[in-house]
Chains A and B, each alone.
Chain A
Amino acid sequence: MTMPATVAELVRTFKANGRIVIVGASLAGLRAAEALREEGFHGSLTIIGDEPYEPYDRPPLSKQVLKGWVPADHTKLPRLRELDAQWRLGVAATGLDRATRQVRLADGEQVPYDRLLIATGTRARQWPNRTEAALEGVYTLRSRDDAARLQQALVARPARVLIIGAGFIGSEMASVCRELDIPVTVAERGSAPLVGALGGVIGKIATEMQRDHGVDLRCGVGVSSLEGDAGGHVRRARLSDGSTVEADVVVASLGSIRNVEWLEGSGLAAGFWGVGCDAGGRAFDINGVVTDTVYVAGDVARAPHVLYEYQFLAMEHWDNAVFGAEIAAHNMVNLEPDYYPHLLLPGFWSGQFGVNIKSVGVPPFGDEIVFTQGSVKERRFAAAYGRRGRIVAAVTFDHGRWLEYYARLIEQSAPFPPPPPGWDRPDDMNPIPADFPEPGVPTAIPDVVLTGHDPNERRAEFRPRRR
């Protein structure tokens, strides 16, 4: 047999008889499973998830669910096709043995695989003080159960909600509180809301938005401690500036932690920023050698990106989960030269204080910003981020229909600032510093991060201050 015929035969045999295991039963895991079947994979397919629920959609949790429009258990993801898979829900994966190709489960079972997809995503960072975190009325928001509990707490009309951290989720929750006419304080260690993701210029606008809607926003302060009453219910927070906030609901919105602990000892390039993989989703081992059997997709993946100097990019975005899963699935059941690259331009959306915020590209990669369309005063505008004379990202406030224009400019590495529009020009169209926090300044970590060139990034570490 010629080589191409051999490869074709290998692919055919694998599609018929291979064993694929997907660890992670959320958006990326589900879409990968569907894509595998769509690719003609007829072998055995096992999906492992630590939550007891079938895959559900997370974006509504901090919006429609919290508002009480949609019950938390009505967020199940639509199925795109029949799956014929074995679901192992409610049991976490606890280990990976690449030598024997087995995934170890919390109940002691070993699940063998020929190809493995890691889609374990992230979890909410808990309030670091365990005793305080255990107080009644202290919440985080990541899962369906979290959302259901927090929504119940809001229905009970607390006297005040304290949100710690003004990233996207924290800001969305503050917006919901104001819509429900619940008093809310937001404490943010950085200089402004959204500053890590969008920089200080946009952060200033986000600050005004929050204050205009009656949020008691306090920036540049941390929360030092939480205090409970005799019944073990949270009542008060002490802030780093010495002030206190009386609140009976506290939500820690401190960003996310990548679920990689179960990979300890597996020899994969797994660390703080996730699991390093190539642009086709194939995982790297700790030496930077790409594996043939282990793939990564979704929030937990970090892969080099052609548009950003081939730095490893970690994206906690919905479309990254969907498209990354589809690419990984394709590559899992194919061989060179039929591999596809995952060349997604990062993008996200958020709804808060009546404004639809959307972005493309990697804003923190830029150091300058220019308003390109609309009116900042009316909070409907488009702005572009630049670095060394080329456009690298854009953000829109109630101007999402223009995003495609900026996406094309970013894909082409077009000059920055972009040419002025023919109408609806902002008052000031001069580029100014985008004002991102210096590395090391404590603030929310943006949900799209360039994490350097090292496939086995282990240097960055989160060390909560011990008192």
Chain B
Amino acid sequence: MAEETAWQQALRKASRANPYPFYEELRKTPVARQPDGSYVVSTYRELVQLLHDPRVSSDPRKRPGAIPGADPLEANIIEMDPPEHDVDRRRMTRHFGPPERPHMIADLEPKIRRIFAGLLDDMKGKTRIDVVDEFAFPGPVTVICKVLGVPLESIPRFHGWIETALDGLDFGPEASDPEQQRRLAAVPAAVVEMRQFLADLFDQYRKQPGPGMLSGMAHDNGPEGRLPQESLVNNAMLMLFAGHETTVNLIAHSVLSLLRHPDQLEKLRRRPELIVPGVEELLRFESSVQLWHSRSALEDIEIAGTTIPAGSTIFLCYGSANRDPERFENPDKLDLERPNNEHVGYSQGIHYCFGAPLARLEVQTAVSEFFRRVENPRLVEDPPPYRHNQIFRGPRHLWVDIDGIRD
């Protein structure tokens, strides 16, 4: 058997807690051809260049030999190209931010504050907490339900479907293991159920308008019209899972990173305003979206001394680009005051994360409040256990011993 590439090694489950040594190896070849013919981009400059290149498609349906319907997430805006992408994205963002809803995020602040404060209140009397299950997950999932207008009672149901779908996805050498094959086989049923759930929700909102983006999108009479039913469901699915999974991982990773770097935590305690640049650095340091899989070259693209042939799949490794020493001085050092921190944690170009303002507010609030109120937090297990998914990388649990919760 041929030796595994650095990319394949980075994707192994055993590397999830620390893929960085493999990324360092990977960056020696900024655009690296893999045995299956795909190309992995791991350096900052090349990754940013391709994010802005109009010869790169985000739509897996345009790849040679693509099977329609194979990807459960397809036909949402993150997997579409202009001009359709631009129209659909506008039909969504007009319910989320400026110019139509300039105050939407700012107005959520008191609610977000209350949600995270309540979760910390619930930890009173405990000496050991799971930061993921008791804080990093319930906060963002509640927020996204409020933003979209998804009933809170449905959280356990859709959380299960999302877990199943994310567990089934694997781009590494372990994809062919029987256990992983079984997980993959469970994905379509979960996606069907989730689609049905969201389709029913839209039906309900069409009859009876309610608060939140989904109802707004179902009744949209904007200049470019309404998203068709199929796109409504696809994009609702995208917003529902991308709208909290990434934030969950960032909050959990932020707590973990700060507990691993007591000097930075001490600095943050002395100067709480550092949370704003700090969250950018925490996202650079442990990127919530480690890689993206859906891009491909529509023409031959010459880059970094190689040619990506038309039709090739391109993996963008954000997690590695954010640790590229050519762009970030001492990239493996956490520095809450890092100057010129233009990380790619939210991507760049036309697919730049439109939920970024919401994520920033949530994580700034959650992490500030956590370290203000939790007394003497100590990591129980380092590294913590990680979730299976390679894209949405984050701890499955994060056990922390505490002395109490301040008011």
Residues of A that sit less than 8 Å from B by CB: 372-375, 380, 401-402, 404-405, 408, 419-424
**Chain A residues, CB < 8 A from B350:** 401-402
Partner of A402, one of B48, B52, B298: B52
Query: Contact at A405–B57, with CB atoms within 8 Å?
Result: no
**Chain A residues, CB < 8 A from B297:** 422
Partner of A422, one of B49, B54, B83, B352: B54
Query: Contact at B299–A419, with CB atoms within 8 Å?
Result: yes
Q: Mark B293-307, 1 if CB is under 8 A from A, else 0.
A: 000011100000000
Closest B residue to A421 by CB, please name it.
Answer: B54
**Chain B residues, CB < 8 A from A401:** 349-350, 352
Query: Contact at A373–B82, with CB atoms within 8 Å?
Result: yes
Say whether, besides A401-B349, A422-B299, A374 and B53 are in contact (CB < 8 Å). Answer: no
Partner of A423, one of B48, B82, B349: B82
Q: Which residue, B48, B82, B348, B350, has most C-beta atoms of chain A within 10 A?
A: B82
Residues of B that sit less than 8 Å from A by CB: 48-49, 52-57, 62, 81-83, 86, 297-299, 348-350, 352
Query: Contact at A422–B52, with CB atoms within 8 Å?
Result: no
Query: Contact at B83–A374, with CB atoms within 8 Å?
Result: yes
Q: Which residue, B55, B81, B350, has most C-beta atoms of chain A within 10 A?
A: B55
Task: A380 to B84: give the CA distance in the assembly, Å.
Answer: 13
A-B Cβ contacts below 8 A, count: 48
Task: A338 to B298: give the CA distance in the assembly, Å.
Answer: 44
A438 shortest CB reach to chain B, Å = 33
Closest B residue to A354 by CB, please name it.
Answer: B223
Task: A372 to B52: give the CA distance in the assembly, Å.
Answer: 14
Task: A405 to B350: give the CA distance in the assembly, Å.
Answer: 12
Task: A125 to B56: give the CA distance in the assembly, Å.
Answer: 46
Query: Contact at A424–B82, with CB atoms within 8 Å?
Result: yes
Query: Contact at B352–A405, with CB atoms within 8 Å?
Result: no
**Chain B residues, CB < 8 A from A419:** 55, 299
Interface class of chain B by DSSP = loop
Complex A-B: 23 CB contacts under 8 Å: A373-B82, A374-B83, A375-B83, A380-B83, A380-B86, A401-B349, A402-B52, A402-B349, A402-B350, A404-B48, A404-B52, A404-B349, A408-B52, A419-B55, A421-B55, A422-B55, A422-B57, A422-B81, A422-B298, A422-B299, A423-B54, A423-B81, A424-B83
Query: Contact at A405–B299, with CB atoms within 8 Å?
Result: no
Task: A405 to B81: give the CA distance in the assembly, Å.
Answer: 16
Partner of A373, one of B48, B54, B62, B298: B54
Query: Contact at B352–A402, with CB atoms within 8 Å?
Result: no
**Chain A residues, CB < 8 A from B56:** 422
Task: A380 to B298: give the CA distance in the assembly, Å.
Answer: 22
Query: Contact at A374–B82, with CB atoms within 8 Å?
Result: yes
**Chain B residues, CB < 8 A from A375:** 83
**Chain B residues, CB < 8 A from A423:** 54, 57, 81-82, 298
**Chain B residues, CB < 8 A from A373:** 54, 82
A399 shortest CB reach to chain B, Å = 9
A374 shortest CB reach to chain B, Å = 7
Task: A402 to B349: give the CA distance in the assembly, Å.
Answer: 7
Closest A residue to B48 by CB, please name it.
Answer: A404
**Chain A residues, CB < 8 A from B49:** 408
Task: A197 to B235: give the CA distance in the assembly, Å.
Answer: 40
**Chain B residues, CB < 8 A from A372:** 54
Task: A380 to B350: give the CA distance in the assembly, Å.
Answer: 14
B262 shortest CB reach to chain A, Å = 29
Task: A402 to B350: give the CA distance in the assembly, Å.
Answer: 8
Query: Contact at B81–A424, with CB atoms within 8 Å?
Result: yes
Task: A422 to B83: give the CA distance in the assembly, Å.
Answer: 11
Task: A423 to B83: give the CA distance in the assembly, Å.
Answer: 8
Closest A residue to B57 by CB, please name it.
Answer: A422
B238 shortest CB reach to chain A, Å = 19
Query: Contact at A405–B54, with CB atoms within 8 Å?
Result: yes
B351 shortest CB reach to chain A, Å = 9
Closest A residue to B348 by CB, please name it.
Answer: A404
**Chain A residues, CB < 8 A from B352:** 401
Closest A residue to B53 by CB, please name it.
Answer: A405
Task: A372 to B53: give the CA distance in the assembly, Å.
Answer: 12
Q: Which residue, B52, B54, B299, B349, has most C-beta atoms of chain A within 10 A?
A: B54
A2 shortest CB reach to chain B, Å = 29
**Chain B residues, CB < 8 A from A405:** 52-54
List 7 additional contacts besides A372-B54, A405-B53, A423-B82; criterion CB under 8 Å.
A374-B83, A401-B350, A404-B52, A422-B299, A423-B57, A423-B81, A423-B298
**Chain B residues, CB < 8 A from A380:** 83, 86
B398 shortest CB reach to chain A, Å = 36
Task: A374 to B48: give the CA distance in the assembly, Å.
Answer: 21
**Chain B residues, CB < 8 A from A424:** 54, 81-83
Task: A310 to B86: give the CA distance in the assembly, Å.
Answer: 39
**Chain A residues, CB < 8 A from B82:** 373-374, 423-424
Closest A residue to B301 by CB, please name it.
Answer: A419
Closest B residue to A403 by CB, please name it.
Answer: B52
Task: A424 to B84: give the CA distance in the assembly, Å.
Answer: 9
Return the 6 tightest CB-CB contacts between A and B, nearest first: A422-B298, A421-B54, A405-B52, A424-B82, A423-B81, A404-B52
Task: A373 to B55: give the CA distance in the assembly, Å.
Answer: 11
**Chain A residues, CB < 8 A from B299:** 419-420, 422
Task: A38 to B380: give the CA distance in the assembly, Å.
Answer: 42
B171 shortest CB reach to chain A, Å = 23
A183 shortest CB reach to chain B, Å = 25
Task: A420 to B53: give the CA distance in the assembly, Å.
Answer: 10
B390 shortest CB reach to chain A, Å = 26
Query: Contact at B54–A402, with CB atoms within 8 Å?
Result: yes
Task: A423 to B296: give the CA distance in the assembly, Å.
Answer: 12
Task: A401 to B90: give the CA distance in the assembly, Å.
Answer: 14
